[in-house]
Amino acid sequence: MHIRPATEADLPSLARVMDEENIHYEGDDAMPADDVLPKLKRWFSANADTLMLVAVEDHHVLGFATLVPLFPAGNLNVGMFIKDLYVAADARGRGIGEALMRRCAAEAQRLGATRLELTVDKDNPRARALYEQLGGRDTNKAYLRWDGAAMAALAEETENV
């Protein structure tokens, strides 16, 4: 298994893992599997500032991590945010999550970032334990989300802004 930046050739295998992740988090609201690859292809070609790393074995993607720059971070430095880190269910327990985290840190440093951040679900103690074992600390910040009607309502009142 090795970890490297994703390429277009990885997208079909990556789409399989992303579909699994989407079902895991979205359940019945997950997009149809047939829509994942076309959406991934559109995203991949339009987001050059995002680094997607893949864990690959025998040309099959086993997991991925997505790094997004944050600016400004502390003291006007650049930080990197791990938007997603996911390992396919049939590949778990092999150290892939840890390997992806370590590669994320190395890539963040290579890109000049002074810190690395991510969120973890409160009901995912296994992932949280891994992140804390690797030196991550709870920042005591709340993670808020606007989606659907809430986002539309927030965007609606822009006349006086």
Tell which residue, 43, 33, 97, 89, has the closest CA to residue 65.
97
| Structural domain includes residue 55 | yes
pTM: 0.89
| pLDDT confidence of residue 158 | 74
Domain count, the chain: 1
Q: pLDDT truncated to tens, each residue of the chain (161 aa)?
A: 999 999 999 999 999 999 999 999 999 999 999 999 999 999 888 888 899 999 999 999 999 999 999 988 788 888 999 999 999 999 999 999 999 999 999 999 999 999 999 999 989 999 999 999 999 999 999 889 999 999 998 898 776 66
| Structural domain includes residue 161 | no
Start-to-end C-alpha separation, the chain: 51
What backbone phi and psi angles, to 5 degrees, belong to 56? -125, 140
| Structural domain includes residue 33 | yes
Q: Which domain holds residue 22?
A: 2-156
| Structural domain includes residue 23 | yes
| pLDDT confidence of residue 7 | 95
| pLDDT confidence of residue 161 | 66
| Structural domain includes residue 142 | yes
d(CA 12, CA 54): 12
| Structural domain includes residue 93 | yes
Residue 95 structure tokens: 């150290």
| Structural domain includes residue 7 | yes
Query: Which residues are 127's β-sheet partners?
Result: none
What backbone phi and psi angles, to 5 degrees, belong to 106? -65, -45
CATH number of 10's domain: 3.40.630.30
| pLDDT confidence of residue 88 | 98
| Structural domain includes residue 69 | yes
